[in-house]
Structure 1
Amino acid sequence: MKTILEKNGANIRYRPVGQFEETRFEKIHNVIFSDSNRASIKVAEEIASLIKKKQEANKNCVLGLATGSSPIKVYEELVRMHKEEGLSFKNVITFNLDEYLPMEKDNRQSYWYFMHEHLFNHVDIAPENIHIPDGTISGEEVIEYCIAYDDKIKKNGGLDFQLLGIGRTGHVGFNEPGSHYNSGTRVITLDHITLVDAAPAFLGIDNVPRKAITMGISTVMSAKRIVLLGWGENKANIIKKTVEGEISPQVPATYLQNHKNCTFVLDTGAGSQLTRNKTPWLVDESLDWTESLTSKAIVWLCNETNKSILSLTDKDYNDNGMSGLLAVKDSYDLNIQMFNKLQHTITGWPGGKPNADDSSRPERAEPAKKRVIIFSPHPDDDVISMGGTFDRLIEQGHEVHVVYQTSGNIAVSDTDALRYAEISKRIAPSEEAQKIIDSIKEKKESSFDSLEVRKLKGNIRRGESYAGVRYLGLDDANVHFLDLPFYETGTIKKNNLSEADISIMIDIITEIKPHQVFAAGDLADPHGTHKVCLDAVFESMKRLKSEAFMDDCWLWLYRGAWHEWDVDEIEMAVPMSPSQVLKKRYAIFCHQSQKDGVMFQGDDSREFWMRAEERNKNTAEKYRALGLSHYAAMEAFVRHKF
């Protein structure tokens, strides 16, 4: 989306171009960017503008700062401005929102460490101007410390600008559900969902501190200007509740509705559930009824009326804000068109049906035997997200290759690694095995795995991957492990995608010369690896576009581990029989290190096979409810066109 920036005093207001800015549903000003990087740069520009204006007036600029993944790109851009454009932080005083309790400053999970790593170590801010809640404060001193923290903000003239993220509980800072509007800086017990979200960074929920020091709602609301960042589909539901819901202590971020100078800066994923995006016909009846919007509206109307597609009437359309559609076609034609569109997405031949009319099928009939790459970000996404389709492609004689983009080593617990190391030592005693055993036993909380331990964990995932695809009948020669460098940091925080990563991707695609590529489009993955891996697929295929084999190469995106495609988005739906559902389940079972007590499972406590089966069953049920054939389960795909 294009945006313009409007100066409003010291602030920059982000106003969308060519789209209504606010609706009767929305109670907080917000703007949606096509991606979080562009949005972050605009926010950094506003902060820089404020710093410069204060410098011109010979005044300090008091910033309230947030941590977490959301503001990282903002800080990167501020650092770039400092180094390349001479932006000075000498007049900047900062107050951070929160800190875990207890937490030592030098712990890599501390917010003190985070802020220095991402911002303070790289700019010319005076150390005495940096204020971050102290995670080592004892119980007797903490109340006085919190009062003093608020007093220090007031003595410095109050917060000129407060940067916020938002948690899935609706917390800002660590103001969890139940926080009072008048609350000041204090100690708070963290909500379970917050602990779950923090678990990946701490390598398990048991390692996450249960308490934190946080600025209160009143402290945050006292800021002259507030900008809240929201990225990704994981934040979409809480963004909708915050922007469109009633003010409630159960969603503390809704208090921001009462702030006079607050903007939510979102990407398309985070803004996807807002009424103007999810159901724009309820906001503006003078819409451009594109094919995709029409499909989305009809599926929504079926769910809203609890009717199948062919049962919808003119009254259903008129009563639900869709009269504009009837000005183009009557309900009978609309219903038939949509029914046929969905009917044609269903195929038992994901590689194309040989010697068949493919004019209304999702895949080409020729070549009858295709070379296929299934890219799997982690060493189990292939069977979790498209195990049934994987199985079908092999059964139908296609040359299938599975390519695991990362080692997945950080997702193996120390307990599992120790068990394998001890078994290895019993079979073949060695100094190397003992070294690994000692390294695991002596490992301190939040410390890195040694290189040897990481290799062992990677080999555990590799062995499980072989077991899973062998169960589906794939030959070992068609299994490829890339171990992309961006992932191999030994920590949750990964490096940016590099030329080395792209080069490895280009080599494997060039070697196989595929007719079909399947890749993970499941960007709700909470630790971001799916996004980087998909970017690697996009970039490598883009660079290969001029190659002759690419003229006949289609890219299909799958989901399923975290979310599923909406029915109106689906372009290929592959039915699964009950026996195939079981076969997929057993292939997932081969990934034993990820089965019981998986380390990074997000907000869903069920095992991945349970989630996958429910999502596949639900997709089939949605098709049935719309009036189409009933299957036990379905895997869904969207074709990406470059």
Structure 2
Amino acid sequence: MNADVANYIDISYKEPGKFEETRFEKIHNVCVNSSSEGSLIVAKEIADLIKEKQNAKTRCVLGLATGSSPIKVYEELVRMHKEENLSFANVVTFNLDEYYPMDKNNMQSYFYFMHEHLFNHVDILPENINIPDGSVNSEDLYQYCIDYEMKIKSLGGLDFQLLGIGRTGHIGFNEPGSHLNSGTRSITLDHITRVDAAPSFLGIDNVPRKAITMGVGTVRSAKRIVLLGWGISKADVLKKTIEEEITSQVPATYLQNHKNTTFVLDIGASSELTRIKTPWIVTSCVWNDNLKLKAVVWLSELTNKAFLKLTDKDYNDNGMSGLLAEEGTAYDLNIKMFNKLQHTITGWPGGKPNADDSNRPERANIPKKRVIIFSPHPDDDVISMGGTFDRLVEQGHDVHIAYQTSGNIAVSDEEALKFAEISKSLNSDCKEANDIINYLKKKTGNAIDSPEVRKLKGLIRRSESLAATRYLGLNDENVHFLDLPFYETGAIKKNNLSQDDIDIMCSLIEHIKPHQIYAAGDLADPHGTHKVCLDALFESLEKLKHNKYMDDCWVWLYRGAWHEWESYQIEMAVPMSPDQVLKKRHAIFYHQSQKDGVMFQGDDSREFWVRVEDRNRLTAKKYNDLGLADYAAIEAFKRYHF
């Protein structure tokens, strides 16, 4: 796929508020289907600017961002350099920020990041690369920042500034409280920013507390600004930035006054915008069944009324008179939506044999189904769908668990050392155990684990997984450890999906020929493995979909570890009894290495079993508040059509 995809979307600046669909919005933005699609569009704009400046025989001054958001942009620019002769000979770059203190050779430095993702692969002149130096002496830092700022101004300012956005609303490292006219300076990082960076540093204790950053004023001086917003975790702050008032507590709101700014958002990141979340407030809608359910759920939650208690006045007072006119009366619409949601509830996730399935989410005509539950890490299965897993086994289906990655990087050194020392106590002559103990005791910083240590950490996760699946009654031969190669780097940064990954996935699917596949659709996890694993499944399904056995295969996506499906998105809701909630908890407990103080906690300090129980209870409460039965907990699924 190449940058020609950009031809069908114009992301050039348009004045916010000019059109009906943007009257709530104060910053021009465009929504795309995926971050990959958006990245190609932005890369094309940057490439066009470089070429324009080359034709005018002038330099092109780019402000560049780091983090996960711009990676695909840089990949596309590298591709264009190699395949389309895009030259960077006239490009001067200034990076937004750098951790402080930070050695540029450290793998966590932005110097390292930029060279790995862009500079090492294009023909930019080394003297034209400017990245804040995280090793400057503290007594020289103030003057260094002034000099960095003056160098940008001496070149006529930034022609183009690429931005991401943090959950605090920071741009660069301009944290809440930053001034409108601030320049390049040192800054103390917000706790949330450090939490978000923690996975890359293998724990928040290793994240620097300070940084050097271009100022808000520096960024706003750029002639053109494009901000990338990817993923549901950014949705709330992007709504604040785009729709609410300018405030220093959300520094990105300062961009509302910039004359040439565009935000490029994917589906998740745009999900809280008024025109996306509640389009009936903004303009007339074409009402399909899904949008009707979304609107009625919203109205029910807004008015704190169950479906069947909503009145004509409730609809008319809240911008939904068009829907009511189409449906006739609130009474008829309420019953229709009540039945639609009620039909998602089933205690038989594999289908109920010899039953009418016309109003059930799953088929009854295949009484014993072959099932694959894909789990990105060796605990996502029980964390996110442990109750449903239990039901499928109890109800006699041929259930297979496929752990897509080893999960070794999430095992702490202390946990690995404990097991190595146990191994040594059983066999004092075990060379491998002695090597691991010596390595771990000498290990410093964020060094990549040796192959032996990675193997041990992977075995720890395997043993925990087998303990949990045995507890739920699954035979060991139905547990598959795929160890997808993309994950096995020993570092936080993973490789891109390869054909080897897809072949492994396809081989298992072809062997089992499943009637059901369950997979993690929760893309808000802080290390991104869920998304890569889901992409691996989608690519495999695309490759296999023409096989006859795939006609009977349905795919269900679960969430739960980080976010849950909204009520209107749920297509299968599996209730759990109090006893089953407890059984699920015990299954999670078998993953002992992940129980206390795990490395990839996100910003939720609760243990996984606590947070997922709360989410399952909240889903049940939402159903009850909408007027449906009162259950102890519910696991939720959405069907994926391929």
TM range, smaller chain: over 0.9
* Maintained 8 Å contact 1:383/1:588: yes
* Alpha-carbon distance, 1:6 to partner: 8.6
Q: Secondary structure at the match of 2:139?
A: coil
* Maintained 8 Å contact 1:616/1:633: yes
Q: Secondary structure at the match of 2:314?
A: helix
Counterpart CA distance in 1 for 2:226 and 2:538 is 31
1:363 matches 2:370: no
1:173 matches 2:172: yes
1:425 alignment partner in structure 2: 424
2:310 alignment partner in structure 1: 312
1:631 alignment partner in structure 2: 631
Counterpart CA distance in 2 for 1:587 and 1:459 is 18
Counterpart CA distance in 1 for 2:224 and 2:336 is 49
TM-score after normalising by structure 1: 0.97
* Maintained 8 Å contact 1:22/1:29: no
Q: Secondary structure at the match of 2:460?
A: helix
Q: How many residues are aligned here? A: 634
* Maintained 8 Å contact 1:412/1:594: yes
2:290 alignment partner in structure 1: 292
* Alpha-carbon distance, 1:549 to partner: 1.8
Residue type of the partner of 2:290?
S
* Maintained 8 Å contact 2:106/2:112: yes
Counterpart CA distance in 2 for 1:580 and 1:305 is 33
Counterpart CA distance in 2 for 1:631 and 1:364 is 23
Counterpart CA distance in 1 for 2:609 and 2:510 is 33
1:541 matches 2:541: yes
Counterpart CA distance in 2 for 1:281 and 1:560 is 29
1:62 matches 2:61: yes
> Structure 1 291/6 Cα, relative in aligned 2: closer, same or farther at 3 Å?
closer
1:498 matches 2:498: yes
Residue type of the partner of 2:245?
E
Q: Secondary structure at the match of 2:549?
A: helix
Q: Secondary structure at the match of 2:604?
A: coil
* Alpha-carbon distance, 1:86 to partner: 1.3
> Structure 1 213/21 Cα, relative in aligned 2: closer, same or farther at 3 Å?
farther
Which ranges of 4 or more aligned residues in structure 1 deviate by more than 3 Å? 2-7, 19-22
* Maintained 8 Å contact 1:169/1:177: yes
2:460 alignment partner in structure 1: 460
Query: Cα deviation per residue 1:204-259 (whole Å; 9 max; x = unaligned)?
Result: 11111110000011111111111000101111111101001111111000000010
Counterpart CA distance in 2 for 1:446 and 1:155 is 38
* Alpha-carbon distance, 1:592 to partner: 0.7
2:301 alignment partner in structure 1: 303
1:434 alignment partner in structure 2: 434
2:403 alignment partner in structure 1: 404
Counterpart CA distance in 1 for 2:464 and 2:19 is 51
Q: How does 1:147-226 map to 2 (within 5 A)?
A: 147-226=146-225
1:607 matches 2:630: no
* Alpha-carbon distance, 1:14 to partner: 6.8
Counterpart CA distance in 1 for 2:299 and 2:455 is 52
* Alpha-carbon distance, 1:444 to partner: 2.0
Counterpart CA distance in 2 for 1:543 and 1:59 is 47
Residue type of the partner of 2:515?
H
Q: Secondary structure at the match of 2:138?
A: coil
* Maintained 8 Å contact 1:5/1:14: no
2:230 alignment partner in structure 1: 231
Query: Cα deviation per residue 1:556-591 (whole Å; 9 max; x = unaligned)?
Result: 111100110111111110110111101100100111
2:489 alignment partner in structure 1: 489
* Maintained 8 Å contact 2:13/2:260: no
Counterpart CA distance in 1 for 2:514 and 2:127 is 58
Counterpart CA distance in 1 for 2:143 and 2:83 is 42
2:331 alignment partner in structure 1: 332
1:566 alignment partner in structure 2: 566
Counterpart CA distance in 2 for 1:274 and 1:146 is 36
Counterpart CA distance in 2 for 1:103 and 1:220 is 23
> Structure 1 6/500 Cα, relative in aligned 2: closer, same or farther at 3 Å?
closer
* Maintained 8 Å contact 2:6/2:40: no
Residue type of the partner of 2:453?
V
Q: How does 1:113-152 map to 2 (within 5 A)?
A: 113-152=112-151
* Alpha-carbon distance, 1:22 to partner: 4.8
Query: Cα deviation per residue 1:450-499 (whole Å; 9 max; x = unaligned)?
Result: 11100011001101101111111111111110000111111111111111
Counterpart CA distance in 2 for 1:408 and 1:15 is 45
Query: Cα deviation per residue 1:594-635 (whole Å; 9 max; x = unaligned)?
Result: 110000011111110011000000000000000000000000
* Maintained 8 Å contact 2:162/2:226: yes
Q: Secondary structure at the match of 1:556?
A: strand
* Maintained 8 Å contact 1:105/1:113: yes
Query: Cα deviation per residue 1:161-198 (whole Å; 9 max; x = unaligned)?
Result: 11100000000000011111121111111111111110
In structure 1, list runs of 5 or more residues that go unmatched.
none
1:276 alignment partner in structure 2: 275
* Alpha-carbon distance, 1:542 to partner: 2.2
Q: Quick one: percent identity of the two aligned structures?
A: 73
* Alpha-carbon distance, 1:53 to partner: 1.3
In structure 2, list runs of 5 or more residues that go unmatched.
none
Q: Secondary structure at the match of 2:584?
A: helix
> Structure 1 21/478 Cα, relative in aligned 2: closer, same or farther at 3 Å?
farther
Residue type of the partner of 2:35?
S
2:526 alignment partner in structure 1: 526
* Alpha-carbon distance, 1:137 to partner: 1.0
Q: How does 1:340-359 map to 2 (within 5 A)?
A: 340-359=339-358
Q: How does 1:45-84 map to 2 (within 5 A)?
A: 45-84=44-83
* Alpha-carbon distance, 1:21 to partner: 7.5
Counterpart CA distance in 2 for 1:438 and 1:567 is 52
* Maintained 8 Å contact 1:21/1:31: no
> Structure 1 50/218 Cα, relative in aligned 2: closer, same or farther at 3 Å?
same
Q: Secondary structure at the match of 1:635?
A: strand
Q: Secondary structure at the match of 2:22?
A: coil
* Maintained 8 Å contact 1:3/1:14: no
What is the RMSD computed on CA atoms of the aligned residues? 1.5
| Structure 1 stretch displaced more, 490-499 or 64-73 | 490-499
* Alpha-carbon distance, 1:510 to partner: 1.3
* Alpha-carbon distance, 1:366 to partner: 2.1
* Maintained 8 Å contact 1:21/1:30: no
* Maintained 8 Å contact 1:4/1:14: no
2:320 alignment partner in structure 1: 322
> Structure 1 59/22 Cα, relative in aligned 2: closer, same or farther at 3 Å?
farther
Counterpart CA distance in 2 for 1:446 and 1:88 is 35
Residue type of the partner of 1:23?
T
Counterpart CA distance in 1 for 2:73 and 2:308 is 49
Counterpart CA distance in 2 for 1:21 and 1:198 is 38
Counterpart CA distance in 2 for 1:272 and 1:170 is 17
2:414 alignment partner in structure 1: 415
* Alpha-carbon distance, 1:41 to partner: 1.1
Counterpart CA distance in 2 for 1:3 and 1:342 is 39
Query: Cα deviation per residue 1:412-436 (whole Å; 9 max; x = unaligned)?
Result: 1111111111111111221110101
Counterpart CA distance in 2 for 1:334 and 1:6 is 37
Residue type of the partner of 1:608?
F
Q: Secondary structure at the match of 1:99?
A: strand
1:383 alignment partner in structure 2: 382
Counterpart CA distance in 2 for 1:271 and 1:100 is 29
1:244 matches 2:275: no
1:39 matches 2:28: no
* Maintained 8 Å contact 1:6/1:14: no
Counterpart CA distance in 2 for 1:534 and 1:73 is 18
* Maintained 8 Å contact 2:14/2:28: no
* Maintained 8 Å contact 2:21/2:282: no
Q: Secondary structure at the match of 2:373?
A: strand
Query: Cα deviation per residue 1:252-295 (whole Å; 9 max; x = unaligned)?
Result: 000000100000011111111100000001100x2100111100
Residue type of the partner of 1:101?
Y
Counterpart CA distance in 2 for 1:359 and 1:171 is 50
* Alpha-carbon distance, 1:546 to partner: 2.3
2:620 alignment partner in structure 1: 620
